[in-house]
Amino acid sequence: MQTATIITIGDELLIGQVVDTNSAYMAVRLNEQGVSVKEILSVHDEREAIVSALERAISQSEIVLLTGGLGPTKDDITKHVLCEFFSTYLVENKQVEAHVRDLYKNRPEVLNRLTATQWQVPAAAQIIENKIGSAPIMLFRREGTTIVSMPGVPEEMRCAMDTLIAEEYLADTASKAFILHRTLRVAGIPESALAILIEQWETNLPKNLHLAYLPQYRTIRLRLSGTGNELDSLTHQLDTEFQTLQSLVSEYVVAQTGEPLEVVLGSYLKAHNMTVASAESCTGGKVASLLNKHAGSSAFYKGSVVAYSNEVKEQVLGVCKTDLEQYGAVSEQVVGQMAKGVIKVLQTDCAIATSGIAGPDGGTKEKPVGTVWIAVAKKTADSVGSLTADAEGISVYTECLHLRGDREAITDNASAIAILRLLQWLEK
């Protein structure tokens, strides 16, 4: 099987000013091509660091993808280091020049002498067009390894990967291999208990299959990965074992996929022709962002009210003022009314509501930071489980979460768990 090493270049990654999101995207796309990523290295914009990473990468992989350091300013040195590494020199490239001139045709102030360096490219490199930016993609070959340098701007890198794959620059028909993954999401069982439950099956898995446990937001994703040279037999083998896994853990399954919970919820809502809204206090729009993050969300998502202040809870969502005063904003009473309120105001079939203390301030002894009330509600003619619809035909489920971690962790967990609870309730 072909392996790849990813090298991301930029001081900003090493001082923590920027999170490297590029590597994950490249890894997914490489896996789709049957290429396994062996290692990801992030290094400074420094000659020695880049050279050392390149040497390591070339010694261990057939594909090396580099991102970053291709801008027109002094701190960007990748192109010069590549010239030195491949013993080549810069030449002007007319096609890149024409592309850059076209890109900035309405912004003549950009076409200065520094921007002009963008069409100077290493003579030894194969040049591939960067459709949405000025720094071209550069491809080199050495000792059976393909080395590709791409821009670090995430959307330009994503576009470059699309081009590299569509035009088969990374294809290697000689050693064609396949990497397949199947993921299942379970909830309601601790990771260790789950491992004991499936221990015998896991121990007897064939050598080319591998199980991983990925706990996330009170669920665990079980990922079964397989590698092989023959697509049909690998698919059959993997699917057979995956079915066994599903049957072993069936009572805990919340999704037959590892896709984000909001995607699973979205698919359910679309299939059942239902709409959703959110009413958020402590999560502050995070649930909304998740619900419409993915293409096609307009089919089921109508909108949200982020009711951060009590005034908004009262005036827009119709939360009862005396309940706000008596129980506080972080209470079962208020979060339930928020969920019902947003169903009425935005006229949806179901809703998610949150109200809690995300911290770092605002905690009390009774309601410490991490206390989050969540509610899910739906319009219903019939009673559901132990819940019966009220006079307005809306049923509500509420739960108090006690979350650990910082503001970000509390917001992310509360949002995901609220989405999980609506999904579980609907699936019942």
| Contact positions with a copy of itself (CB under 8 A) in 319-348 | 345-347
Q: Which is nearer to a copy of itself, 295 or 381 (CB)?
A: 295
Residues 345 to 374 in contact with a copy of itself, rule: CB under 8 A: 345-347, 359-362
Count other Cβ atoms within 10 Å, centred on residue 249. Answer: 18
Select from 63, 79, 83 the least CA-distant residue to 71: 79
Query: What is the nearest approach in angstroms of a copy of itself to the Cβ of residue 273?
Result: 15
**Residue 301 in the binding site for a copy of itself (CB under 8 A):** yes
**Residue 201 in the binding site for a copy of itself (CB under 8 A):** no
Residues 17 to 36 in contact with a copy of itself, rule: CB under 8 A: 17-21, 23-29, 31, 36
User: What 3 state SS string does 363-391 have?
Assistant: CCCCCCCCEEEEEEEEECCCCECCECCCC
Per the omega criterion (within 30 degrees of 0), is the bond before 360 cis? Answer: yes
Residues 222 to 261 in contact with a copy of itself, rule: CB under 8 A: 223, 225, 258
Residue 210 is classified by DSSP as E
Contact window for a copy of itself (CB under 8 A) among 89-97, 142-150, 279-287, 376-384:
279-287
Residue environment code for 163-185, b if the CB has 16+ CB neighbours within 10 A, otherwise e? ebeeeeebebeeeebbbbebbbb
Residue 189 is classified by DSSP as S
**Residue 395 in the binding site for a copy of itself (CB under 8 A):** no
CA angle 93, 97, 99 (to 5 degrees): 120
Residues 114 to 153 in contact with a copy of itself, rule: CB under 8 A: 114-115, 132, 153
Query: What is the nearest approach in angstroms of a copy of itself to the Cβ of residue 61?
Result: 12
**Residue 41 in the binding site for a copy of itself (CB under 8 A):** yes
Q: Which is nearer to a copy of itself, 253 or 409 (CB)?
A: 409
**Which of 169, 201, 268, 308 is close enough to bind a copy of itself by CB under 8 A?**
308
Residues 97 to 116 in contact with a copy of itself, rule: CB under 8 A: 107, 109-110, 112-115
Helix (H, G, I), strand (E, B) or coil at 137: strand
**Residue 288 in the binding site for a copy of itself (CB under 8 A):** yes
Count other Cβ atoms within 10 Å, centred on residue 341. Answer: 26
**Which of 43, 263, 376, 394 is close enough to bind a copy of itself by CB under 8 A?**
43
